[in-house]
Amino acid sequence: MVRTEPGFEWYPHKGETGIKSGKEILLTDFLNPDLFDTDSEIYKALYTCLEKNDLTKGWTPTHKIKLYHGEADDIVPYANSEAVVEAFPEMATLSTSGWGTGGHMGTCIKWLGQVLISAW
């Protein structure tokens, strides 16, 4: 199946371990108990793909990276932002959300408010 929605580019798989060449992978294909089984083929294939696409290895940003993150974020782990700053100490800065807005949505709302008043 080839998607035709505007702005969507289709990249068929090239036959990585556990994935048939040319097959479209849907969320339902890997959001299942096998994903949490470290011995399953889909777990190994997914983590191999994530490792190959890790932007903190073999790549350097060309522009400064300014991160804004809440320590209590329950959607995107705060450790992800810390890892970026650790990987690119000269290029990345991290501002931490405070005063009770440390969750994902609270931090997003606080950041958006700062953008709107040009404090970002």
Q: pLDDT by residue (tens digit) across 27-38?
A: 666 577 887 889
In this predicted structure, what is the pLDDT of residue 86? 93
Same domain, 84 and 106: yes
**Into how many domains does the chain fold?**
2
What's the first-to-final CA gap in the chain, in angstroms? Answer: 43
Number of Cα atoms under 13 Å in the Cβ half of residue 15: 1
- Domain of 78 in residue numbering reads as 65-116
Residue 14 has pLDDT above 70, yes or no: no
Q: Which two tokens stand for residue 62?
A: 């060309």
Q: Are residues 16 and 38 in the same domain?
A: yes
| Residue 42 covered by a domain | yes
Per-residue pLDDT band at 50 (split at 50, 70, 90):
confident
Q: Where are the beta strands (DSSP E) in the chain?
A: 65-70, 92-97
Give yes or no: residues 35 and 71 share one domain.
no
pLDDT of 91 higher than 90: yes
Tokens of 85: 């700053």
Domain shared by 82 and 45, yes or no: no
Is the confidence at residue 40, as pLDDT, over 60?
yes
